[in-house]
Structure 1
């Protein structure tokens, strides 16, 4: 089953399937419009890493490396079991939602790859 990615500001679609927000900070969108099934702030980059990255493309390689280190450490690694279980039990799509403007250089892209390889 595919894991999709989408900006949370885009309109929710039926084919999104299970919608999981993977940002640590709530985006500027109402809870009604977000239509979330789960908010996984525990697997989002730490505040320190998020602030360091600042969505600067030239830092993405190092951001990816640091974020992967966070994801494979204790607490976050355990938290990955939750969305992974949802993916395994879900008959439809799973969509990782994020607030970043850049659709290719964000934490959802890194997390998607980790979940696919989990």
Structure 2
């Protein structure tokens, strides 16, 4: 029997240093390292998905340098395109069960961070 079409989740991104909101829905920390000075209670996470974050080597190479953004984005998308990471992304979408999902990240730069890339990849994946 074919799987019923799941309702697409709205996928938001939010800094770990911004207050959680009930509108955030299913909150997932998508950083490899825990954000400094933030407690589990403050973050109000449904889960911490370290393994979906960029590899340590890629994260360190990028160093949040906007001039490396395009290359970082391509490299991270390549990391996300493995069978293992695709399975993690599908699991994440299933866990959200159609409710809004907020990808939580610690970087200061709101435009050049892994959550931006991951959101785009998740949106493409759920569109089929």
TM-score of the aligned structures, taking structure 1 as reference length: 0.94
Look at both structures and tell me which one has the larger radius of gyration over its CA atoms. 2
Using the size of structure 2 for normalisation, the TM-score is 0.87
> Aligned runs of 1:27-46 on 2, under 5 Å?
27-28=35-36, 29-46=38-55
Q: How far, CA to CA, are the matches of 1:58 and 1:81 in structure 2? A: 31
CA–CA distance in structure 2, aligned partners of residues 49 and 24 of structure 1 = 11
Please list every run of 5 or more consecutive structure 2 residues that lacks an aligned counterpart in the other structure: 1-8
The corresponding residue for 2:113 is: 106
Matches of 1:41 and 1:74, distance apart in 2: 17
Match among 58, 62, 69 for residue 67 of structure 2: 58
> What whole-Å deviation, never above 9, does each CA across 1:2-49 have from its counterpart, x for those lacking one?
211100111111101110110011111111101100111111000000
Show CA shifts across 1:86-107 (max 9, x none): 24x23x3110000000001000
1:57-96 correspondence to structure 2 within 5 Å: 57-87=66-96, 89-90=97-98, 92-96=99-103
1:55-112: CA deviation from partner (whole Å, max 9, x where unpaired) = 000000000000000000132222112112124x23x311000000000100000000
State the SS of the aligned residue for 1:6.
Answer: strand
Structure 1 residue ranges without an equivalent (≥5): none
How many residue pairs were aligned?
116
What root-mean-square deviation, in Å, do the aligned CA atoms of Structure 1 and Structure 2 show? Answer: 1.0
Distance (whole Å) between structure 2 residues aligned to residue 77 and residue 44 of structure 1: 12
State the distance in 2 between where 1:86 and 1:112 align: 15
Equivalent position of 1:22 in the other structure: 30
Indicate whether 1:117 and 2:124 are aligned.
yes
